[in-house]
Amino acid sequence: MKSIIKNLRNNILCKRTRNKMLSSYLSSQYFGFDSNPHASACIKCQVSGKRYKAFKEELENELRKEVEAPTDFASKVMSSLDKKVKTTTSKSTKIILLTLLGILSIVFLVFGQRRSSNKLEREQ
């Protein structure tokens, strides 16, 4: 029974230590293995610490790399946007836009005729 409790306590301590390690590496702080008695004695935590450190270094190296966009990147983006616009425009939206266009056309025709008739009256 004592060994089960000891293993449980050790597992909890390992988990806490690894969480501290991970947060320290992610926040670009140094994790002191020497100042942490559990980490300096626990092989599992030391291996995890080395893995976290290697992962962080690899991630930083990948983030520093410059990536070139393909030559046809802009055209692919624009064509995908065109497809999305075509598929997201609903029927009711199209009907509303066509109705507004029709109303505007009628308004321009009416005002255009009034202007032309006013010009004819002035000339006579």
**Could you read off the pLDDT of 105-119 as tens digits, one per residue?**
887 777 766 665 555
Q: Which residues touch 66 (CB under 8 Å, ≥6 apart)?
A: none
Q: Which residues touch 44 (CB under 8 Å, ≥6 apart)?
A: 14
Each domain of the chain, given as residue ranges in start order, spans 2-64, 79-123
Amino acid at position 48, single letter = S
Kindly provide the residue ranges of all beta strands, DSSP E only, lying in 46-119, ordered along the sequence: none
pLDDT score at 79:
81
Residue that has been written with the tokens 């590496």 in this structure:
25
| 71 vs 95: CA distance, rounded Å | 38
| 80 vs 102: CA distance, rounded Å | 30
**Could you read off the pLDDT of 22-38 as tens digits, one per residue?**
777 777 776 676 677 87
Task: Give pTM, 2 decimals.
Answer: 0.44
